[in-house]
């Protein structure tokens, strides 16, 4: 079967949180979407769960088992690099395992990027508009807004939401460059991808802005059991500074 899109799902210690039924139901209802479930050196039985989710549909749902825990960015990177050589792979993305963004949005994001050849990437954006269900705890909402503002000032890119765990990229020569080298930060690799893209486009911000699309999600909810701790938030600001120094012209 022709499967133009691979979605990488990074999974770390997800044994009690992984929405198994939601995933398998979606797999069967959407046989044309390829998935790669990446176990990132989990200390629990996440790998068994992932193998079980893939069983009987191995062609459509792959499992990548990383022996060591490298963090979300590295798990995503390993998954993307593994997916790129797949024949017929036109889009590659990643999605948080807790399904804070419902899987249904994969089709919406893919439809937009497919219809607009100038786009290199499309990101889910958590915008709390009337008529949409975007539920985030107030503290995370405001911290998140602050972070996004700092990032958009640092990168000089008016982006609203860098940290949403739902992103899809058009496969091209550029994609490999974006994911080739290990990320220097653990939690803000999304920002690093953007910094690499800006560098790749020769700091031509018009070209960058015309190639990225933020898609306001219909639905997003904070899922309990987040691995992000308050100190990670502080570290994230320093990480943005590091990215700035590493990638500035």
Ligand X SMILES: Nc1nc2c(ncn2[C@@H]2O[C@H](COP(=O)(O)OP(=O)(O)O)[C@@H](O)[C@H]2O)c(=O)[nH]1
Where on the chain is the footprint of ligand X (CB under 6 A)? 10-12, 14, 40, 69, 71-72, 75, 96-98, 100, 165, 226-228
Q: Is 190 in the site for Mg ion (CB under 5 A)?
A: no
Binding residues for Mg ion, rule CB under 5 A, total: 4
Q: Whose Cβ is closer to ligand X: residue 39's or residue 175's?
A: 39
| Residue 227 binding: pick among Mg ion, ligand X, none (C-beta 5-8 Å cut-off by kind) | ligand X
| Residue 102 binding: pick among Mg ion, ligand X, none (C-beta 5-8 Å cut-off by kind) | none
For residues 85 and 200, give the distance between their C-alpha atoms in angstroms, rounded to a whole number: 21
Q: Whose Cβ is closer to ligand X: residue 233's or residue 244's?
A: 233
| Contact residues for 82 (Cβ-Cβ < 8 A; gap 6+) | 36, 62, 64
Let me know how long the chain is.
249
Q: Smallest distance, Å, CB 42 to ligand X?
A: 8
Q: Whose Cβ is closer to ligand X: residue 43's or residue 245's?
A: 43
Q: Whose Cβ is closer to Mg ion: residue 18's or residue 213's?
A: 18
CA distances from 179 to 44, 55, 227 (A): 27, 28, 23
Q: Select the residue interacting with Mg ion from 36, 100, 113, 191 (CB under 5 A).
A: 100
Q: Smallest distance, Å, CB 166 to ligand X?
A: 11
Question: Is the CA virtual torsion 162, 163, 169, 175 positive or negative?
Answer: positive
Q: Smallest distance, Å, CB 95 to ligand X?
A: 8
List binders of Mg ion among 21-80 (CB under 5 A). none
Q: Whose Cβ is closer to ligand X: residue 213's or residue 220's?
A: 220
Radius of gyration from C-alpha coordinates of the chain:
17
Q: Smallest distance, Å, CB 200 to ligand X?
A: 25
Q: Whose Cβ is closer to Mg ion: residue 96's or residue 174's?
A: 96
Q: Smallest distance, Å, CB 33 to Mg ion?
A: 21
Q: Is 217 in the site for Mg ion (CB under 5 A)?
A: no
Q: Smallest distance, Å, CB 102 to Mg ion?
A: 13
Residue entry with tokens 């989990």: 42
Contact residues for Mg ion, defined by CB under 5 A: 98, 100, 223, 226
């Amino acid at each position: 079967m022709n499967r133009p899109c691979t979605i990488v799902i990074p999974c770390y210690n997800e044994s009690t949180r992984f929405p198994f039924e939601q995933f398998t139901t979606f797999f069967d209802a959407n046989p044309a979407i390829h998935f790669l479930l990446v176990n990132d050196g989990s200390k629990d039985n996440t790998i068994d769960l992932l193998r079980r989710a893939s069983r009987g549909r191995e062609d459509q749902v792959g499992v990548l088992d990383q022996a060591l825990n490298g963090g979300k960015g590295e798990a995503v990177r390993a998954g993307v690099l593994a997916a790129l050589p797949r024949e017929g792979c036109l889009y590659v993305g990643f999605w948080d395992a807790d399904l804070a963004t419902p899987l249904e949005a994969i089709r919406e994001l893919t439809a937009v990027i497919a219809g607009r050849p100038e786009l290199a990437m499309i990101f889910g954006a958590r915008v709390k508009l009337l008529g949409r269900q975007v539920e985030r705890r107030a503290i995370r909402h405001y911290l998140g807004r602050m972070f996004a503002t700092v990032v958009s000032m640092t990168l000089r890119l008016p982006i609203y939401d860098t940290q949403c765990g739902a992103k899809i990229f058009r496969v091209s020569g550029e994609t490999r460059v974006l994911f080739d080298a290990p990320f220097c930060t653990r939690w803000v690799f999304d920002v690093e991808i953007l910094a690499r893209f800006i560098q790749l486009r020769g700091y031509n911000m018009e070209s960058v802005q015309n190639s990225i699309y933020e898609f306001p999600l219909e639905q997003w909810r904070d899922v309990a059991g987040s691995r992000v701790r308050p100190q990670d938030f502080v570290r994230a600001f320093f990480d943005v500074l590091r990215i700035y120094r590493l990638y500035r012209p």
